[in-house]
């Protein structure tokens, strides 16, 4: 994979988890990094989101790789905040070559679609879909101004191409990300800007690793972290595979953004240990 020396990557949701690993992977390849995160909680989301301290820790870890990094507090639902982050990055580094639109949240409350609250719907659609659109909207003019080149990678999910019960807002958002990616690839392709998406399977970050996530994944009302990790073994083809490490998707994103993937655009790339290849079955058969 080619080096990112002299290039700049902007990663949303960079405070911790997958976003942190994406930032570190770009740094290891020599790229300067801009990271953003909300640095506060969202009431409708039942776990704590990244803090300012998390964001600062990611910045320090990236800089320890010998590259430059700036960290911005920005809610991806706020266009002005994203525009300001882009402006700060351009002021610091002069350019932006890569966008990793990665920020995401998930409500593990297990509500069926007709029971889902407006707050839960708008939080997940807002961060997971609107946030991707707003991130691309913030970065595209700068990439266009720089001339041909540039790459955007949107984070969707396995459930961007399949259903999942009691997850209507998240599933709808992640399906929407793929449609948005394909449209962006068409609109930006003639300008030499590539746009792709990754579809991670269950990943061992805070979005899943908390008591509500353990209970939901394991199907046990008192599910533990060990129960969650054991249950996820059933979701992959590859042996000894449970919830994926965040590095798995980070490496795929950096590869898609690299010159090694220079002729790849409009692609939704699963990073799922074969999950989407598994034959389907009905875990709740009714025998009336």
As annotated, the active-site residues are: 170
Integer angstrom CA distances of residue 122 from 7, 193, 199, 283? 35, 30, 22, 29
**194: Cα within 13 Å, side-chain hemisphere:** 22
Name the token pair of 207: 């979005």
Name the token pair of 253: 């994103």
Signed CA dihedral, 265, 204, 78, 46: sign only: positive
Gap between the Cα atoms of 197 and 191, Å rounded: 18
Which H or E element spans position 101?
A: strand 98-101
First to last CA, the chain: 56
Which residues fall within 8 angstroms of residue 84, CB to CB, at 6 or more apart? 72, 74
Name the token pair of 159: 């459930």
Which H or E element spans position 200?
A: strand 194-200
194-200 β-sheet, strand order: 69-73, 32-37, 8-12, 98-101, 151-155, 194-200, 268-271
Q: What values do phi and psi take at 27, rounded to 5?
A: -60, -40
Gap between the Cα atoms of 224 and 211, Å rounded: 7
State how beta strands 194-200 and 8-12 pair. Answer: unpaired
């Amino acid at each position: 994979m080619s080096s990112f020396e002299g290039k700049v990557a902007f990663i949303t949701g960079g405070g911790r988890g997958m976003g942190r690993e994406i930032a570190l992977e770009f740094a290891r390849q020599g790229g300067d990094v801009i990271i953003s995160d909300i640095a506060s909680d969202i009431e409708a989301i039942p776990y704590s989101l990244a803090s300012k301290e998390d964001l600062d820790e990611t910045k320090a870890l990236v800089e320890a790789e010998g590259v430059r990094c700036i960290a911005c507090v920005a809610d991806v639902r706020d266009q002005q905040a994203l525009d300001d982050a882009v402006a700060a990055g351009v002021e610091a580094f002069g350019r932006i070559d890569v966008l990793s639109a990665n920020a995401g949240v998930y409500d593990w409350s297990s509500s069926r679609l007709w029971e889902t609250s407006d707050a839960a719907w708008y939080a997940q659609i807002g961060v997971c879909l609107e946030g991707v659109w707003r991130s691309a909207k913030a970065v595209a003019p700068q990439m266009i101004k720089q001339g041909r080149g540039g790459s955007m990678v949107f984070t969707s999910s396995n459930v961007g191409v399949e259903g999942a019960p009691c997850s209507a807002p998240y599933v709808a958002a992640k399906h929407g990300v793929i449609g948005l990616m394909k449209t962006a690839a068409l609109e930006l392709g003639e300008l030499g800007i590539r746009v792709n998406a990754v579809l991670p399977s269950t990943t061992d970050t805070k979005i899943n690793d908390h008591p509500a996530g353990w209970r939901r994944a394991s199907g046990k009302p008192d599910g533990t972290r060990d129960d969650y990790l054991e249950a996820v073994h059933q979701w992959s083809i590859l042996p000894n595979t449970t919830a994926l490490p965040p590095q798995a998707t980070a490496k795929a994103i950096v590869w898609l953004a690299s010159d090694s993937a220079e002729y790849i655009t409009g692609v939704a790339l699963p990073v799922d240990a074969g999950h989407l290849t598994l034959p389907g079955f009905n875990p709740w058969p009714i025998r009336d």
